[in-house]
Structure 1
Amino acid sequence: MNSISFRKSDRTRLGTLHRLRNLCCTQLPLLTIAPSIFDYLNFLIPHDAYGMALTYPNGEPYILYYKNLNPQSMRYVQENTELFLNLKTESHIRWLNCPKLPKVGNLLRPDDPYFHSLTYQMIVRQSGLHHTLDLRLERNHIPAGGITLYRRMSHPFQLQDHHLLEQAGVYIEYALNNQMEDGDDVIESDQALLIVNSQNDLVMMTDAAKDLLNLFPIHYEFWEPYKALPKSCYQVINELKYGQQIPKLSLTIPNGILTLRAEWLSSQNTTDTNIALYLKRSLPRSLIILKKLEALDLSPRECQVAFSLITGMNKSEILQKLSISPAVFKDCVKSVYQSLNVHSVSELITFASQWTTPKNNTFLS
């Protein structure tokens, strides 16, 4: 990954970019770390709303994640995806599919013909926004999606914002190209329940279940319009009805993994059979550790060294991965030990274990 080059006086911005780099090196799925990525981006480039689309090479989205955009507009986009993939009227689709064009730009702006596009009218203006800044994402030099930051009318993006997003994009693309969908330990977090009848009508939903379902980004392969629940919920329910024993489905969501599991609540021979759908959110252990370390009074480099030690890397592996000298490593370890009042790697790991102790909750056991 490229190094960062900013004025030495700009310590806060430099530190934020370093922390973004640390986050993007965890090999967690991009969608999992997306909320933290946008937290860092908001510090670097303040904005009022954002959106991230992960797409197939032809520009068709399979994930849509956004915040503070008009919900009715986004529902219309979800239901009419083909309208927003029109190469003749939607110049951003041409941009997303052309690696030769700059990766960062202002595609949605009033002085551009794109101002009259359906995307601008339906998303930007309907959300009370005006200015946008776009970043194209590529996976191994093949178009893979994009990120858009939005601002209200009185605060246009400046050239410096372009440079910052371009630098941040290097790290975000690294995360996209090096993510591992499986393999990270997860810690059980929130659990909830909803109930449907044999006709798939919603009978009961707890507030906790609503909160978990609101974490869903738009998974297009699991999304169905005009339904009370995401399509993934009905998929698990129908698998149970068609004979599969306790079907389960796990989906990557922002900040973690959501697992769905269906069970019969009563005998299948009764006329009032209901089905319970259990939802469980799990958080990646490595993400919890990284966020806890960043809350301490440690530099980004010290966080990175501590994180590497806690997650099982030895000294030689850390020196090679972080490209640091033994002296820098020694100074970082000393500072970490002093901050946490520990005296060895084993004590450091024991100290960190308190951050990832699962809740004593048997709701889904």
Structure 2
Amino acid sequence: MPVRQRLWQELDMLCRLGVGLAPIAPDVCALLRALVGADAAALFWMDGNGQSAGFHHENSPTSVRNLFLNEPHLFTGAGETNISALAQPDGPRTGRLLAPGAQYFRSNSYNLLVRANGHHHTLDLRVEALGRTRAVVGLFRPPGPGFSDAQAALLERAGASLARAFLPGAAAPGSTAAQATGHVLLDADGQRPALADATALQLLQNAHLPGLGLYGASTADLPADLLHRLRLQPDGQRHIPVPDGVLHAQAHPLHPVAGGALQWLVTLQLQRLPQIEVVRRVLQLPLTPLQREIAVTAGLGHARTDCSALIGIGNALLKKQLRTILEVAGASDWEDLAAHLQGKNTTHSMHSAYTQSESSY
């Protein structure tokens, strides 16, 4: 039970950050799979028109991912239960595919996606926030025992936390960290991709954006309308939520040499969100549920004087719990703890995070 309690708290802490589900998608999928009981999990987030804007699947073959991203027409029409259909608010939030009809098992959605991934059973959840569908969750199992009503109830319970990811959350403590930067050179004739470095191809591949199934791709495989697919205007920029962060895309004009034509350079940069890293660092520490809440409050930049009101505890209890937190983290005071959790202080080691037993949870 303590392990399951920790997983529920981890899910809630990540979602309370209010950064959407895309940047925390790998964490969310792993947590839902463990909490509900599944062999694999997938998460699809929606754009303002209710269409799938990106996804994360834990173990999907690259051929299936490319098919899903590049050939959406295969999964529309009569008998196709696609992500857009599951996002419609005209049925139960959870379990539309618990007991599908025979037509579903003849569909492309099942045979080219679900079955091709080695799955048979699907448990789905529609995540709603601010009056519209924001995401669809899919949990999967191979042929054999399917999902139970009890498991559907667990996924329904998780929906409350997932919806919080789309509400205003904690501000980022410090600047966003850039993890990788790549470039795509566009030619002057129609702004078609002319050259892309390996990092840019990797960033586009990992973004899982519609129309950009790029596994094993080279520059020649990039779509001619790359700017359009990125929804990027010439001389503009955009922040695109993707698994594990935000993809910052910007198009710069390159001044031509004498007699040359104007070219464009698209710079792609994966940025990690510091508030997510704070939660992950806290979860590495062997703390109690209450102690984790206190530590996260420090890591997200709140003052100690505000902590009691934010968490709903008295000053005496805060002081007692903080003493243990500081000892575990190897920090001297509240400000030093915040620096540790924000990755600003690397000279001290959070030694206890790796030496104390799991029983502390």
Q: Distance in 1 between matches of 2:27 and 2:259?
A: 48
Q: Distance in 1 between matches of 2:338 and 2:170?
A: 23
- Give the alignment partner of residue 33 of structure 1, picking from 15, 21, 24: 24
Structure 1 unaligned runs (5+)? 1-9, 358-365
Q: Distance in 2 between matches of 1:57 and 1:198?
A: 32
- Contact 2:274–2:342 (CA<8 Å) still a contact in 1? no
Deviations 1:286-312 (A, max 9, x none): 111111121122234322211212323
- Contact 2:79–2:107 (CA<8 Å) still a contact in 1? no
TM (norm. structure 2) is 0.77
- Give the alignment partner of residue 112 of structure 2, picking from 94, 106, 122: 122
> In the TM superposition, what is the alpha-carbon distance from 1:353 to its structure 2 partner?
4.4
Instruction: Please say if 1:255 is aligned against 2:249.
Output: no
Give the 3 Å change call, closer, same or farther, for CA 273–93 of structure 1 in structure 2. closer
Deviations 1:74-109 (A, max 9, x none): 54444554664547653976654236x432215065
> In the TM superposition, what is the alpha-carbon distance from 1:165 to its structure 2 partner?
1.5
Give the 3 Å change call, closer, same or farther, for CA 192–356 of structure 1 in structure 2. farther
- Contact 2:66–2:213 (CA<8 Å) still a contact in 1? no
- Contact 1:264–1:274 (CA<8 Å) still a contact in 2? yes
Residue matched to 1:340: 329
Stretch moving more, 17-26 or 54-63: 54-63
Q: Distance in 2 between matches of 1:133 and 1:311?
A: 34
> In the TM superposition, what is the alpha-carbon distance from 1:127 to its structure 2 partner?
2.0
Secondary structure (helix, strand or coil) at the match of 2:207 reads coil
Aligned residue pairs total: 340
Stretch moving more, 136-145 or 71-80: 71-80
Stretch moving more, 284-293 or 178-187: 178-187
Deviations 1:107-139 (A, max 9, x none): 065765433333222211222211111111112
Q: How does 1:181-330 map to 2 (within 5 A)?
A: 185-199=175-189, 200-218=191-209, 228-229=222-223, 233=227, 239-240=233-234, 244=235, 247-263=236-252, 267=256, 269-271=258-260, 275-315=264-304, 317-330=306-319
Q: Distance in 1 between matches of 2:195 and 2:345?
A: 32
TM (norm. structure 1) is 0.77
Equivalent AA in structure 2 for residue 295 of structure 1 = Q
Instruction: Calculate percent identity across the aligned residue pairs.
Output: 19
Residue matched to 2:4: 13
Give the 3 Å change call, closer, same or farther, for CA 95–35 of structure 1 in structure 2. closer
Q: Distance in 2 between matches of 1:74 and 1:49?
A: 15
Residue matched to 2:133: 143
> In the TM superposition, what is the alpha-carbon distance from 1:22 to its structure 2 partner?
0.9
Secondary structure (helix, strand or coil) at the match of 2:269 reads strand
- Contact 1:91–1:114 (CA<8 Å) still a contact in 2? no
> In the TM superposition, what is the alpha-carbon distance from 1:194 to its structure 2 partner?
3.3
Q: How does 1:36-185 map to 2 (within 5 A)?
A: 36-55=27-46, 60-79=51-70, 81=72, 84=75, 86=77, 90=81, 96-98=87-89, 101-105=91-95, 107=97, 113-154=103-144, 156-178=146-168, 185=175
> In the TM superposition, what is the alpha-carbon distance from 1:253 to its structure 2 partner?
1.6
Deviations 1:169-193 (A, max 9, x none): 2101121344689998412222223
Residue matched to 1:4: none
- Contact 1:260–1:279 (CA<8 Å) still a contact in 2? yes
Structure 2 unaligned runs (5+)? 215-219, 347-361
Secondary structure (helix, strand or coil) at the match of 1:105 reads coil
Give the 3 Å change call, closer, same or farther, for CA 293–46 of structure 1 in structure 2. same
- Contact 1:27–1:180 (CA<8 Å) still a contact in 2? yes
Equivalent AA in structure 2 for residue 156 of structure 1 = G
Equivalent AA in structure 1 for residue 59 of structure 2 = N
Give the 3 Å change call, closer, same or farther, for CA 47–343 of structure 1 in structure 2. same
Secondary structure (helix, strand or coil) at the match of 2:4 reads helix
Q: Distance in 2 between matches of 1:180 and 1:126?
A: 39
CA RMSD, Structure 1 to Structure 2 (Å): 3.7
Equivalent AA in structure 2 for residue 228 of structure 1 = L
Give the 3 Å change call, closer, same or farther, for CA 215–88 of structure 1 in structure 2. closer
Q: Distance in 2 between matches of 1:91 and 1:234?
A: 24
Secondary structure (helix, strand or coil) at the match of 2:206 reads coil
Stretch moving more, 256-265 or 109-118: 109-118
> In the TM superposition, what is the alpha-carbon distance from 1:24 to its structure 2 partner?
0.9
- Contact 1:57–1:142 (CA<8 Å) still a contact in 2? no
Q: Distance in 1 between matches of 2:231 and 2:222?
A: 13
Equivalent AA in structure 2 for residue 153 of structure 1 = P
- Contact 1:108–1:114 (CA<8 Å) still a contact in 2? no
Residue matched to 1:362: none
